[in-house]
Structure 1
Amino acid sequence: MTHPHPPNSGFNVDVNPAAAVARNARHFGEAAAVRYAGGDLTYTQLDLKAARLATVLAEGGIRDGDRVAYLGLNSGSFLLTMLASFRLGAVFVPVNFRLAEPELQSVLQRSGAAALVCEEGHRASAEHVRAATSLTRFLLVDDDPEVPATDGVAGWEPWFGLIAAARPFPSVTAKTFDDPAILMFTSGTTGLPKGVVLTYGNAWWNSVNVDTMFDTRRGDVTYAAAPLFHIGALNSFVLRTLVRGGTVLVRRSFDPVRFLDDLVTYRVNSMFAVPAMLAALSRVPGAFDADLSHLRSIVVAGAPVPPSLIELYASHGILLQQAWGLTETAPFATHLPAEHTLRKLGSAGIPMPYTQVRVVDSMTNQPLKPGEAGEIVVRGPNVTLGYWENPEATAAAFDEEGWFHSGDVGYLDEDGCLFIVDRLKDMIISGGENVYPAEVERVLAAMPGVVDVAVVGSPDEQWGETVAAVVSLAEGTTVTLDDVREYAATRLARYKLPRKLKIVQDVPRNASGKLDKAVIRRLADEEV
């Protein structure tokens, strides 16, 4: 008999992270797996509690391939739910905790999740939409002092007693490269979120890419303050750290002062951050006087990284490593090695070792020459196989050669380094000229007094669209439209200069750190 993948080919190897955690528990059981204010866990404790939770889920009918959703902030409970789901072969559905109830209903309904693990702070929202979903099991986290639970809530099962009484599920379901592991819904700021199916292979190959390019080591401490429902935070270092036996320092949310203290106190080695986190850290008094010498790998992604921020950190001996990718690429397609941080300032880097990246004409799909901007397309084993129960969207995203079309615009330079220009759909056409907001944002982000900035197109009778800037300012700073135009005029063509300026306290961003362009457009169109 001919096997499609012979047993010794590697295609049949078990790449379930739950199996790796069980292995770490057996051989390095007392090592710290999770540090969290709501309770630390060694590998022995993490594996045992996940195994008991798996039994709780299985007794409620969860089987291989079923979906288990989690609704709450970063916590040890998030990681436990994920590992318990993996242990059963169930698909983990991390839910954006900032969704409005109609959006929450859509995600829970469309995922077909049968079980929901929820924190008290989100229970009411889940309760309001439960009737419209396929959910049959509602577990309430009641053992986390960071988020106390209400006793005796009808229709909800407090999970502490159930987990404590359960026998550990005796085995880990073996999983190979093409098996679905995570169902992650895109942020949906410009339309209905799509469910991205990420396989165990997608996660595994991204980890190999990361291990190859970043200075990561067994036993590393990684920092998790960016939302874990976002693939950047979850699969950059967190999941891989648990597989390799390191320590994940979990914070429910981001606070710049505590962030600095954590980096020093816990001697953090790696972290995923969005630019806004690092910008906030730079404003903490004494930030660059602290001992951060152990921080070897800082990957910055999720939003364009202002070159001025990279230069600021580099001037203090800290090299930020910009990366680019999407939920669909699990997450990284390119990465700029630390050695090139300043030489290729502003670049999102080179293709990951086991990922192909090219830039094509969006009309002809033909590859473009270096320096020519076009749509960025990606192909590789870290790329999703498609969208959940949405064959139309899957077909639209992939071409006949298997390239995934990202919707991002960029160009490759002569050295093969990628530079991101913008999103195709965000391009402004003003008087027949194409204006890419990200280009204008990068310039304005370096303007003295500007804390954060977003640029969008605003309807204009004369030009069709005009450039509008929405900015937040440092305390005590005053900036006018004339100031902005004068500053940018030496760096941008005249047609790219903002004609509208809106000052806000905070520029709207979604939970992944990306600019919420739908909200920003509404702000820009308000009377100034």
Structure 2
Amino acid sequence: MSPGHPANSGTHVDVSPAAAIHRHARTQPDSLAIRYAGGDLTFAQLDDRAARLATVLADGGVNAGDRVAYLGLNSPSFLITLLAAHRLGAIFVPINFRLTGPELHGVLRPSGAATIVCEEGHRTVLEAVRDGTALKRFLLVDDDPEVPAAPVPPEGWETWSGLLARALPTARIALRRFDDPAVIMFTSGTTGLPKGVVLTHGNIWWNAINVDTQLDTRRGDVTHAVAPIFHVGALNSFLVRTLVRGGTVVLRRAFDPAGFLDDLVTYRVNSFFAVPTMLAALAQLPGVFETDLSDLRAIVVAGAPVPPSLIQQYADHGIWLQQAWGLTETAPFATHLPVERTLAKLGSAGIPMPHTEVRIVDPAANTPVTAGVAGEIVVRGPNVTPGYWNNPEATSAAFDDDGWFHSGDVGYLDDDGCLFIVDRLKDMIISGGENVYPAEVERALADLPGLVDVAIVGAVDERWGETVVAVVAVTQGSAISLATLREHAATRLARYKLPRQLKVVDTVPRNATGKLDKVAVRRLLDAGP
């Protein structure tokens, strides 16, 4: 056999999660796959339900390459739908359950999904925007005690439980290779219309290999999933990989700090993905740092800038938060800070993943810059999306001729190759000719006593072009003034970066992934006092 023969290449390996779950159903059928308040599932039960739903979908005309959407909170039905779609070679489209009507239409229409699985709590908003989409078949989850059920089956909807009960489980599982599309995830759209990021089975597989190489994950691990799993960080960090490796997922619909802590202890959780706001809330629980959390080996914090003070607080109690950076387009992790560097590189998003290249370039010239110089972060590797769904213009704009994906994030690499995130390129404020990166100001203010949350945005200013505005939420009874903000940040920031205006709000807008929603923040400013 000659070198380079396809049999040697590995490109014919089946990397579908559905095939892995089916394998576990045969070899460890009674092992617990999903622990859920509405009912646990073994691997045999999970595989059987996915196989039955695959029959239902196929009977409705779903074929390889078709899109199957899901609208609802974290639940086994989300994962069953994903696995059923993959059994058929179809593409799974998870939908942000917090979207309003126009936003929902703006995702469903370009996805081209003809079939959707939906929870009752989201049916009304979906029905209001179904016209103009490709949707033809509507399946309603009705057998989950955690999901409110419709009193009678609504017209035009088929109930999930009856369909699964009547269907014969299909034995067929489509062979899925590295380049086959697995998921379309729509970006949050906080800076414009959302784009459908295509993630292939290979993108997901290589991300898993990166995670397994860098983090202390093991076969049979227990992972906790409470961050919304329609988001790439929550889905692809540990959840899918844990199931593929035969472990258990503790799946929760919504974050409750006390319940989360109880789960960590009761089920001896080994890993979880979180956004910073979750860990900040957890740290407020009385006695949290006296609790035995010794089973935790891998805590990845991402999705929004992580205040160094939060990392230090946990480290002081022997709990190591591992910061990572990436995007939906990188499936999700491009960098990760190894646990042994947590304090030495406090605030860093880490080093490039083993099978991923990361470079900093001058945004205008697209040429590499030297260590310590800020520029745009670009990424290349097998975990990076091939492009955007039916959007060649956006794909072309995101990739250069050498295959580097341009993230739109600004950062720098230090002399040791560790990445430090500065901000989003589009969020940069130019005040008096000087560049101000809002994330830098937000970090400088994050540990101010009485401050709950902060967003920094620019506002038009006749003298400076733009001026720095702080939009803050404070604890009850706190009286934080503009002078207080400026004094607190003055030891860390140049004067031109300090806020010149202050607006106090009840809640600083964030999207479902924990990122600041700068579009909504600016609307608050436009609304006036």
TM normalised by structure 1 equals: 0.98
Match of 1:72 in 2: 72
Q: CA shift at 1:131, angstroms?
A: 2.1
Gaps of 5+ in 1: none
1:313 counterpart letter in structure 2: Y
Match of 1:34 in 2: 34
- Cα distance in 1 for partners of 2:194, 2:357 equals 26
1:509 counterpart letter in structure 2: R
2:53 counterpart letter in structure 1: L
Q: CA shift at 1:505, angstroms?
A: 2.1
- Cα distance in 2 for partners of 1:128, 1:226 equals 27
Match of 2:215 in 1: 214
Match of 2:154 in 1: 153
- Cα distance in 2 for partners of 1:295, 1:317 equals 11
Match of 1:9 in 2: 9
Kindly indicate whether residue 461 of structure 2 is the aligned counterpart of residue 460 of structure 1: yes
Q: CA shift at 1:377, angstroms?
A: 0.2
Match of 2:141 in 1: 141
- Cα distance in 2 for partners of 1:195, 1:527 equals 34
- Cα distance in 2 for partners of 1:108, 1:498 equals 40
Match of 2:123 in 1: 123
Is residue 458–residue 525 contact of structure 1 (8 Å, CA) maintained in 2? no
The 1:338–1:189 alpha-carbon spacing in structure 2 relative to 1, beyond 3 Å, is same
- Cα distance in 2 for partners of 1:130, 1:4 equals 49
Residue by residue over 1:465-491, the C-alpha shift from the partner in whole angstroms, topping out at 9 and shown as x without a partner, is: 111111122233221111111111111
* Segment of structure 1 superposing worse, 179-188 or 487-496: 487-496
- Cα distance in 2 for partners of 1:506, 1:2 equals 64
Match of 1:310 in 2: 311
Q: CA shift at 1:285, angstroms?
A: 1.3
Kindly indicate whether residue 349 of structure 2 is the aligned counterpart of residue 333 of structure 1: no
Q: CA shift at 1:398, angstroms?
A: 0.3
Kindly indicate whether residue 215 of structure 2 is the aligned counterpart of residue 232 of structure 1: no
* Segment of structure 1 superposing worse, 401-410 or 496-505: 496-505
Report the secondary structure of 1:7's partner residue: helix
Is residue 500–residue 524 contact of structure 1 (8 Å, CA) maintained in 2? no
- Cα distance in 1 for partners of 2:329, 2:153 equals 40
Report the secondary structure of 2:285's partner residue: coil
Match of 2:186 in 1: 185
Match of 1:107 in 2: 107
Q: CA shift at 1:3, angstroms?
A: 10
Match of 2:525 in 1: 524
Match of 1:172 in 2: 173
* Segment of structure 1 superposing worse, 456-465 or 350-359: 456-465
The number of residue pairs the alignment matches comes to 528
Kindly indicate whether residue 394 of structure 2 is the aligned counterpart of residue 371 of structure 1: no
Match of 1:504 in 2: 505
- Cα distance in 2 for partners of 1:121, 1:316 equals 40
- Cα distance in 2 for partners of 1:506, 1:295 equals 31
Match of 2:58 in 1: 58
- Cα distance in 1 for partners of 2:321, 2:475 equals 23
Report the secondary structure of 1:354's partner residue: coil
Match of 2:25 in 1: 25
Q: CA shift at 1:152, angstroms?
A: 2.1
Report the secondary structure of 2:184's partner residue: strand
- Cα distance in 2 for partners of 1:83, 1:196 equals 19
Q: CA shift at 1:47, angstroms?
A: 0.2
2:96 counterpart letter in structure 1: N
Structure 1 residues 237-386: aligned runs within 5 Å = 237-386=238-387
Q: CA shift at 1:525, angstroms?
A: 4.2
- Cα distance in 1 for partners of 2:389, 2:288 equals 43
Q: Pairwise CA RMSD of aligned residues?
A: 1.2
Match of 1:447 in 2: 448
Q: CA shift at 1:54, angstroms?
A: 0.4
Is residue 224–residue 249 contact of structure 1 (8 Å, CA) maintained in 2? yes
Match of 2:48 in 1: 48
Q: CA shift at 1:185, angstroms?
A: 0.4
Match of 1:204 in 2: 205
Q: CA shift at 1:522, angstroms?
A: 2.0
Report the secondary structure of 1:132's partner residue: coil
2:239 counterpart letter in structure 1: V
- Cα distance in 1 for partners of 2:525, 2:420 equals 27
- Cα distance in 1 for partners of 2:476, 2:310 equals 19
Gaps of 5+ in 2: none
Is residue 468–residue 524 contact of structure 1 (8 Å, CA) maintained in 2? no
The sequence identity of aligned pairs, in percent, is 71
- Cα distance in 2 for partners of 1:152, 1:240 equals 36
Q: CA shift at 1:526, angstroms?
A: 4.4
Report the secondary structure of 1:377's partner residue: strand
- Cα distance in 1 for partners of 2:290, 2:2 equals 63
2:518 counterpart letter in structure 1: K
1:141 counterpart letter in structure 2: V
Residue by residue over 1:412-456, the C-alpha shift from the partner in whole angstroms, topping out at 9 and shown as x without a partner, is: 000000000000000000111100001000010011121211111
Report the secondary structure of 2:503's partner residue: strand
TM normalised by structure 2 equals: 0.98
* Segment of structure 1 superposing worse, 383-392 or 467-476: 467-476
Is residue 456–residue 524 contact of structure 1 (8 Å, CA) maintained in 2? no
The 1:207–1:226 alpha-carbon spacing in structure 2 relative to 1, beyond 3 Å, is same
- Cα distance in 2 for partners of 1:175, 1:4 equals 21
- Cα distance in 2 for partners of 1:2, 1:60 equals 45
The 1:3–1:49 alpha-carbon spacing in structure 2 relative to 1, beyond 3 Å, is farther
Report the secondary structure of 2:45's partner residue: helix
- Cα distance in 2 for partners of 1:189, 1:523 equals 14
The 1:2–1:130 alpha-carbon spacing in structure 2 relative to 1, beyond 3 Å, is farther
- Cα distance in 2 for partners of 1:149, 1:88 equals 28
Q: CA shift at 1:24, angstroms?
A: 0.6
Report the secondary structure of 2:218's partner residue: coil
Report the secondary structure of 1:236's partner residue: helix
1:332 counterpart letter in structure 2: F
Q: CA shift at 1:212, angstroms?
A: 0.2
1:454 counterpart letter in structure 2: A
Match of 2:415 in 1: 414
The 1:33–1:504 alpha-carbon spacing in structure 2 relative to 1, beyond 3 Å, is same
- Cα distance in 1 for partners of 2:127, 2:156 equals 9
- Cα distance in 2 for partners of 1:280, 1:267 equals 20
- Cα distance in 2 for partners of 1:326, 1:164 equals 39
Kindly indicate whether residue 431 of structure 2 is the aligned counterpart of residue 430 of structure 1: yes
Report the secondary structure of 1:131's partner residue: coil
Match of 1:92 in 2: 92
Report the secondary structure of 2:7's partner residue: coil
- Cα distance in 2 for partners of 1:34, 1:310 equals 30
